[in-house]
Structure 1
């Protein structure tokens, strides 16, 4: 029997958790009226907002303020666990439209526990209301120290071409000269445009893109650290391990083992994005 579809903004309950088992997909650009706490219990989600993009493997979550235009996608199967909070239930919301942060153990357990209250829950369930109220208050503390594991988004066609060229060649070889040629700019002009428009250097963009791609690859079933290192342009495992550990705070092997621990959750299917708003 097919699962019932959920139109998120039409759910009567003010706060609830929605879960879904996702095959490779893209939600399309959309907004939700409620605030949102987005989390992948397994696999990895790719989150985009107007000026930035992030990878969300387990142990990392995103706060999205109500009304924030965003897009969520996944290149491999992932388990979605997202909590929706009525703005009036979050009196001291985190600053900004989007903040990505590391989930402490308590946060992860609370998110997994929240799956007992799906979109069909009784709107006046006092236990649920108390639980989500506590979650909303703790959220402010958890999101106080965001992690800048992100890539900027281009605002002009030239920089978009340079970024696309770079992202398509993470395994190498890739050069600033090649990116500049793809953008139709001189190397000096492209370097300046990266600093002015994206707030980073081209070389830093390449490095961070390789790290984020490595995190995505390591979240896949059967991933191997050595193969991942070569796939993202490193010639030695030692150099990759050093770079990855400096970027994430943990060794690739430890990251892979942690992300590989799957979590089984109840599923509340969401409507296809073209007809209704999909979770994400």
Structure 2
């Protein structure tokens, strides 16, 4: 079990009578409880990798990327390593949720998106920490700043990154997904997953299509890339070792797959992750 951080006074977000504020958290491995806020959240991982469970999906927030979680969306956060997390809470009065619909045809409202962080976005999110939970909400500059940040966030989140995996509803699909994560380096096929799920390959294929709107091979490929992102962000693993760990025999093939998924080569991603903010201590979960 992933340990929780040591106890510390927590901020009751909904009890604060301020329309927006920033909160800096340097966390060690933890697993939070499912909860929701009446405010929207912009989460930015300056260093480390944060995992989010929101709206029937598992999202990965890698270093120097941001996530938007809509107000009142039930979510859980956890981390398997240290994370330098910077969060902005915004009243719905300051910005509409920038998530009018899903990424797939027929998909309804999506409560979370992970998106690329421009230099402007990074500086604005970090500058928002100037106005913490106790700033009082009567600063005219703060009001203009947070309204501007909210408007820009809607634009930034309009181009989401595919850093998520669907969550199973049936026992069979849950078993297959768990099998995928336990065998990322072995290149298992649909028949292998079906045996682990105690069902037929045909039934499992239908489960993936109906419940997850994907295929076994697509799910496995995404799971490999997300795991590779987490390993590379740790800083200690060599690119070659990560490639093998997620099922690639060829470094070139891994580099091409990783670049197609993330938009950057593994070594560049790892260098950028290492150049992020430090994680000096422990704090509360988000």
Aligned partners of 1:37, 1:253: CA distance in 2, in Å? 27
Residues 112-160 of structure 1: CA distance to partner in whole angstroms, max 9, x if unpaired?
Answer: 1111111121221111111111101111111111122211110111100
Aligned partners of 1:199, 1:92: CA distance in 2, in Å? 24
Unaligned stretches of 5+ residues in structure 1: 271-277
Unaligned stretches of 5+ residues in structure 2: 1-6, 101-108
- After superposing the two structures, state which structure 1 stretch, 90-99 or 232-241, moved more: 90-99
CA contact (8 A) 1:93 1:140 kept: yes
Aligned partners of 1:268, 1:214: CA distance in 2, in Å? 25
Give the 3-state SS of the residue equivalent to 2:44 in structure 1: strand
In the superposition, the TM-score normalised over structure 2's length comes to: 0.89
Please state if 1:109 is matched with 2:123.
Answer: yes
Which of 251, 263, 276 is the equivalent residue of 2:265? Answer: 251
Match of residue 244 from structure 2: 230
Please state if 1:73 is matched with 2:78.
Answer: yes
The Cα shift of 1:62 comes to 1.3
CA RMSD of aligned residues (A): 1.9
Aligned partners of 1:266, 1:87: CA distance in 2, in Å? 32
Please state if 1:21 is matched with 2:26.
Answer: yes
Give the 3-state SS of the residue equivalent to 1:30 in structure 2: coil
Aligned partners of 1:10, 1:256: CA distance in 2, in Å? 39
Match of residue 273 from structure 1: none
In the superposition, the TM-score normalised over structure 1's length comes to: 0.91
Give the 3-state SS of the residue equivalent to 2:151 in structure 1: helix
The Cα shift of 1:185 comes to 1.0
The Cα shift of 1:267 comes to 8.9
Match of residue 32 from structure 1: 37
Give the 3-state SS of the residue equivalent to 1:171 in structure 2: helix
Give the 3-state SS of the residue equivalent to 1:242 in structure 2: helix
Please state if 1:124 is matched with 2:170.
Answer: no
Which of 200, 209, 212 is the equivalent residue of 2:214? Answer: 200
The Cα shift of 1:5 comes to 3.0
Could you say if the C-alpha distance between residues 218 and 106 of structure 1 is closer, same or farther in structure 2, counting changes exceeding 3 Å? same
Give the 3-state SS of the residue equivalent to 2:179 in structure 1: helix
Please state if 1:7 is matched with 2:12.
Answer: yes
Aligned partners of 2:253, 2:113: CA distance in 1, in Å? 30
CA contact (8 A) 2:98 2:157 kept: no
Which of 150, 167, 177 is the equivalent residue of 1:163? Answer: 177
Aligned partners of 2:34, 2:40: CA distance in 1, in Å? 16
CA contact (8 A) 2:235 2:270 kept: no
CA contact (8 A) 2:26 2:280 kept: no
Give the 3-state SS of the residue equivalent to 1:47 in structure 2: strand
Aligned partners of 1:92, 1:44: CA distance in 2, in Å? 24
CA contact (8 A) 2:47 2:84 kept: yes
Match of residue 141 from structure 1: 155
CA contact (8 A) 1:38 1:61 kept: yes
